Amino acid sequence: MPRVTAIIAAAGAGRRLGAAVPKQLLEIDGRSLLEHSVRAFDAHPGVRDLVVVLPRELAADPPAHLRATRKPVALVTGGERRQDSVAHAFDAVPPDTDVVLVHDAARPFVTAGMIARAIDAAARYGAAIVAAPATDTIKRVEVSGTSPVVVETIPRETIYLAQTPQAFRRDVLGAAVALGRSGVEATDEAMLAERAGHPVRIVEGDAANVKITTAGDLDRARARAAQTMRAGTGYDLHRLVEGRPLILGGVDVPCERGALGHSDADVVCHAATDAILGAAALGDIGRHFPDSDPAWTGASSIDLLRRAAAMVREAGYAIVNVDVVIILERPRIAPFIGRIRDGVADALGIAVDGVSVKGKTNEGVDAVGRGEAIAAHAVALLGRLVSRP
């Protein structure tokens, strides 16, 4: 696995948009363009660290989300032109980095797939950019007088529209940055890499990976942006036996009988884990943390829930809420619900008002009703921002 640093270029003033705040702080669906871009790379399993280039005033007083990332983030002040900003950022890239991604913060709809394809191609070939094939017929023109005149029609198959991320082996981007510093002007890093003699590969982009440049782009992006919601459900049951603790959501509940299992047999965590994994279609607890693997014997289930939440985030989802029902004849769990909610919310990395825990008895019916077992049901809701092309 190459060690990957992502540079997020957000130093522009965004003058073409005519807004009072810098473009990168304009919001789509409740988050700034910058935050959407940073989250995409922070959540990507192939990216190790980030360098964010900001205008001077923002670098001095950065938005709070930049202090709440999972991965290390270096903040760098931008330069006069885009290439100067990327050159500043390049100086902050850790020396042991293998591949450097450069992404424009004004493209908030970048996907995990694009990031992965760019990394793979750069690791293999040295340089690669995400680009979309042209769909319109392309005319080369000569500008003379009042209206441009068509000189030729360029075969569409030979035209790709460059997007970001652009990805480079560290030495290739180093050569491109050096060329830029020597006085060569370019509109993107790929152009400098080409000039430095490095072939740049194309990997598949997407028309939905738009760059927000004008007020119209922003309006269209806001109209297209949709928070897709995904629901998942989880269920778990363990036998109750004497001589075992009863752990619910990581909380030790005093009881003459406890739940039997390889792990701590925490039905709340097991059901919640399956619910969030299920909502992301990532399989289930048994697949990721199998009983047969000694690594998980005696594992704390609240830690497994925490790991599952990280997997769900890496897949690009935010956890909206989780609702759990515990079915248990006795003891009454009401006195423990506050602590259970706190522990589950902490493991999920969300506020406690996103976690509900309720207790039920089975009215003496069946094995749960006879006190021979404990069960739990959980429902989880996940959200992710997508762009409808």
Residues that bind Mg ion (CB under 5 A): 236, 270
CA pair distance 51, 102, nearest whole angstrom: 9
Name the minimum Å distance from CB 363 to Mg ion. Answer: 23
- Judged by beta carbon, residue 37 or residue 273, the one nearer Mg ion is 273
CA distance linking residue 114 with residue 94, whole number of Å: 23
Round to whole Å and give the CA distance between 131 and 112: 15
Least separation in angstroms between CB 265 and Mg ion: 6
Identify which of residues 270 and 341 has a Cβ nearer to Mg ion in the complex.
270
Nearer of residues 188 and 236 to Mg ion, judged by Cβ: 236
The residues, ordered by sequence, that sit 6+ positions from 319 with a Cβ below 8 Å of its Cβ are 276, 309, 312, 313, 348, 349, 350, 354, 380, 381, 382
CA 85 to chain centre: 24
Rg (CA), the chain: 26
Beta bridge partners of residue 384, listed in sequence order: 228
- Is the CB of 189 or the CB of 236 nearer to Mg ion? 236
> Measured from the CB atom, is 128 or 285 closer to Mg ion?
285
Nearest-approach distance from CB 239 to Mg ion, in angstroms: 11
Q: How far is the CB of 301 from Mg ion (least distance, A)?
A: 8
- Report CA-CA distances (Å) from 187 to 31, 81, 115, 213: 27, 9, 21, 15
Please state whether beta strands 4-9 and 49-54 pair in parallel, antiparallel, or not at all (unpaired): parallel
Do the beta carbons of residue 107 and residue 37 sit within 8 Å? yes
As measured in angstroms, the least distance from the Cβ of 357 to Mg ion is 16
Shortest CB 345 distance to Mg ion, Å: 20
Cα 350 from Cα 309, distance rounded (Å): 10
What residues form DSSP beta bridges with 358? 325
Nearby residues of 43 by Cβ (< 8 Å), 6 or more positions away: 70, 112, 313, 314, 315, 316
As a whole number of angstroms, the distance between CA 101 and CA 194 comes to 16
Judged by CB, which is closer to Mg ion: 71, or 244? 244
User: CB-wise, 11 or 268, nearer to Mg ion?
Assistant: 268
The residues near 82 (Cβ < 8 Å, ≥ 6 apart) are 9, 11, 12, 187, 188
Is 257 or 270 the residue whose CB approaches Mg ion more closely?
A: 270
Q: Which is nearer to Mg ion, 101 or 265 (CB)?
A: 265
d(CA 276, CA 262) in angstroms, rounded, equals 22
Nearer to Mg ion, 201 or 262 (CB): 262
In the bound complex, which residue of the shown chain has the CB atom lying closest to Mg ion?
270
CB of 266 to Mg ion, least distance (A): 7
**Phi, psi of 223, rounded to the nearest 5 degrees:** -70, -35
Strand extents, DSSP E, the chain: 4-9, 27-28, 31-32, 49-54, 73-77, 99-104, 127-133, 138-142, 149-154, 160-169, 201-204, 225-242, 246-248, 251-253, 257-259, 318-327, 355-360, 373-387
Q: How far is the CB of 248 from Mg ion (least distance, A)?
A: 12
